[in-house]
Amino acid sequence: MIGAMATRARLALYRSLRRARTRREEGLYVVEGHRLVEEALLSGAPLETVLVTAAYRETAEGAALADRAASCGLEVEVLSAKEVDRIADTKTPQGVLAVVREVPADPAVLAAEGLFLALDAVSDPGNAGTLVRTADAFAVRAVLFGPGSADFLNPKTLRAAMGSTFHLPLLRIEDLPLRLREMRRAGARVLAATLDGEDLYAVKTRAARTVLVLGSEAHGVSREVRDAADLEVTVPCPGRAESLNVAMAGAVALAHLAREDTA
């Protein structure tokens, strides 16, 4: 049975949120699975509703999550397993979803001191989400998503981010080279990760504001972004592999930048 609050029109809307265009038009997105829904509640994300199956609601973790949702002033809507399947992106849903309202990040965060990550056409949702999680782990101030990058509200990106989506500002940037040049003029140091840059460990890389730019695995950082950077850097690989996966390279570089003393 569908809960009283879940009308057919609303269910149709929830199903349509699998499309990026609808997510942007409605300002809503769906997270699924116990861990992500729980993290959304704990992080104070602006949830619109929590959707569960009767079977999940009757489990111990389902009852606990429902109580937490109620403490946040939310009503838990009970749907049939078929309806949950039609809304969910995964093949075997856990029986719990949440509809969340997007709150666009304030671009003013880009004027703050600290470490920033920019993605230049990193189109794979798994890599993009992993980089959001990595950025969260290394106290990155914000992540900039340039054109051609995966939507950070894509269901696969959300799952790969493992809840870090709720912990730091994520910004869509229409003209990444222009924004990087603006940040440079305001005192930031921009580092573009390339295959033929200077050894990341051999140069003084941190400044009060540092931006690390990662490009797509297929094409790397674009020429326009390279031209907008202060320095091209590379993670040295003494082994036989030509390069690292972009998410792995980002983790290595961010770990190094996060621990280096500010210049």
What is the structure's pLDDT at 242?
A: 81
| 263 pLDDT above the threshold of 70 | no
259 vs 39, more confident: 39
Q: Where are the alpha helices (DSSP H) in the chain?
A: 8-16, 20-26, 34-42, 54-57, 60-71, 81-87, 125-137, 155-161, 176-185, 223-228, 246-259
In CATH, what number does 107-259 get? 3.40.1280.10
Q: Which CATH number applies to 8-101?
A: 3.30.1330.30
Q: Is the pLDDT of residue 228 over 80?
A: yes
| DSSP letter (8 states) at residue 145 | E
Longest dimension (CA), the chain: 63
* Mean pLDDT score across all residues of the chain: 93
Range(s) of the chain covered by CATH 3.30.1330.30:
8-101
pLDDT at 5 over 50: no
Closest CA to 124 of 159, 94, 100: 159
Higher pLDDT, residue 104 or 260: 104
Kindly report, residue by residue over 92-115, the tens digit of the pLDDT.
Answer: 999 999 999 999 999 999 999 999
3-class DSSP state of 158: helix
Mean pLDDT (whole number) for 199-204: 86
In angstroms, how far is CA 259 from the centroid of its own chain?
A: 22
Q: What is the pLDDT of residue 261?
A: 52
Report the SS3 class of residue 51.
strand
The pLDDT score that the predictor gives to residue 259 is 85
Is the pLDDT assigned to residue 12 strictly greater than 50?
yes
Task: Give pLDDT, residue 217.
Answer: 83
Buried b (16+ CB within 10 A) or exposed e, 4-15: eebeeebbeebe
User: What are the tens digits of pLDDT across the range 46-55?
Assistant: 999 999 999 9
**pLDDT computed for residue 1 by the predictor:** 32
148-109-257 Cα angle (round to 5) = 75
Cα angle 227, 229, 232; round to 5: 100
Whether the CB-CB separation of 119 and 83 falls below 8 Å is answered with no
Mean pLDDT of 14-26: 95
* Residue type present at position 117: L
**Gap between the Cα atoms of 12 and 251, Å rounded:** 39
pLDDT at 6 over 90: no
Q: Is the pLDDT of residue 8 over 50?
A: yes
Spell out where 137-219 has E strands. Answer: 142-145, 170-172, 189-199, 209-215
Averaged pLDDT for residues 129-150: 98
Q: Name beta bridge partners: 211.
A: 116, 190
Burial of 222 (0-12, 13-18, 19+ CB in 10 A): buried
Mean pLDDT of 60-65: 96
Segments of the chain assigned to CATH 3.40.1280.10: 107-259
Q: What is the DSSP string of 61-110?
A: HHHHHHHHHHHTT-PEEEE-HHHHHHH-SSSS--SEEEEEE--PPPGGGG
